[in-house]
Amino acid sequence: MEIKNVTVLGAGLMGHGITQVAAQLAKYEVYMRDIKQEFLDNGMRMINDSLQRFLKKGEMSQAEVDQVLSRIHPTLDLKEAVADADLIIEAVTENPELKKKVLAEADAQAKPDAIIASNTSSISITELASVTRRPEKFCGMHFFNPPQLMKLIEIIRGAKTTDDTINTIVEVTKKMGKEPVVVKKDVAGFVVNRVLIPAFNEAVGLVNEGVATPEDIDKAIKLGLNWPMGPLTLLDYVGLDTTLAITEVMQKELGQKYQANPLLRQMVRAGLLGRKSGKGFYNWQK
């Protein structure tokens, strides 16, 4: 199946980035749908900011920036958004019930042959697919933050996903200039978060136990493991609330070894969510 028109459900942190990648690199016509005009405006502002950075670096011309923007269609109307979509990518908040509601609504309005993919970072693809009439045309398509720069997409097979669906999404991934990794089993956390969440948790534990400062923990991992960014800085970028939500899903599905460190929960309760709130393990307000 050839993909020409893409719809992204959600204009937030991930949604706007996925929209930009689909329009800029794959040159798809993209409808970006959200439920409030302010969310759409904010998403378009972030896309504009990102394109301006490419322009300043000399990586794009003004004409190319204009072309990308002309391919993006923000809308509040779900029916309009999905009417011609060959691929629908859901990128709403990491909340199973909200995702199911949005997916069921999109499925009801979409063409019968449209593929639906979820950008979930932890929720069962089989479970999300079950609210649609097309579980064989449903898969996970997990982008990494920020989608404009990160090269990886995890493509996750649900219990009923067909080879055709996976192969189509592998091609879409390559067209977007990304590297696909096919996750053959629908397990919580897929590949990256299965490794990353315990690393985050241990780093938070080291802070909680007073073993070292956040700065020194990050320095140790950067220099000792050659990570480009320390785990606590990365945690502030991802968001402590998002990380806690993923941890809770993984604990429920995979057992106690994924239980969140008490400090992580305490910081989320205190609104110390990282960059998005201005403070986490570091102060981002400066």
In DSSP terms, which residues pair with 116 in a beta bridge? 88, 138
∠ Cα 153 159 160 (to 5°): 95
Quick check: 43 pLDDT over 90? yes
Q: What does the pLDDT read at residue 77?
A: 97
- pLDDT grade, residue 41 (50/70/90)? very high
Question: Is 142 part of the annotated catalytic residue set?
Answer: yes
61 contacts: CB under 8 Å, gap ≥ 6 = 55
Neighbours of 4 (CB within 10 A): 12
Whole-structure pTM value: 0.89
Catalytic residue, candidates 100, 142, 157, 178: 142
Q: What does the pLDDT read at residue 215?
A: 98
Give residue 141's identity as a one-letter amino acid code. M
87 contacts: CB under 8 Å, gap ≥ 6 = 3, 5, 6, 7, 114, 115, 116, 117, 168, 169, 172
pLDDT in tens, 138-170: 999 999 988 999 999 999 999 999 999 999 999
Structural domains of the chain in order of their starting residue, each with its CATH number: 5-183 (3.40.50.720), 193-274 (1.10.1040.10)
pLDDT in tens, 67-121: 999 999 999 999 999 999 999 999 998 889 999 999 999 999 999 999 999 999 8
pLDDT in tens, 221-250: 999 999 999 999 999 998 999 899 889 989
